[in-house]
Amino acid sequence: ETGVTQSPTHLIKTRGQQVTLRCSSQSGHNTVSWYQQALGQGPQFIFQYYREEENGRGNFPPRFSGLQFPNYSSELNVNALELDDSALYLCASSFGTMAGELFFGEGSRLTVL
């Protein structure tokens, strides 16, 4: 177990709705990255937060947004949900942006109907 916790673990939404996913990073870690993993695919980078600032973003539209709080926990928000947003959303924490290991949470499995 990595010490990274995500919530909720599973959720079902309908098209057009909004969702907020949460991640508590491992103690002492100041960097959080979010990934989307569709079935049978590798994790796709959404964005990264370092010390409360977004410092990198992948090829995802603006309806994917996030926050990092002073305790370094993080949220991923997705607006106007589409069917293709159905996936496992993974959060990974690390100490700094050059760490030799990313610690993953168990993920939040989102189903959009």
Query: CB within 8 A of 49, min separation 6: which ones?
Result: 31, 32, 33, 55, 66, 67, 68, 74
**Token pair 């916790």 in the structure block, residue:** 5
CA distances from 83 to 31, 37, 52, 112 (A): 29, 14, 30, 5
Residue 95 or 104 having the CB closest to another protein: 104
Site membership for another protein, residue 107 (CB under 8 A): yes
For the segment 16-45, give every residue that binds another protein (CB under 8 A): 33, 35, 40-45
Site string for another protein, 52-91 (x = CB under 8 A): ---xx-x-------------------------------x-
Site membership for another protein, residue 103 (CB under 8 A): yes
Question: What amino acid is encoded at 56 in this protein?
Answer: G
Q: How far apart are the first and last CA of the chain?
A: 31
Closest separation in Å from C-beta 80 to another protein: 25
Q: For binding to another protein (CB under 8 A), which residues are involved?
A: 2, 33, 35, 40-45, 48, 55-56, 58, 90, 97-98, 100-107
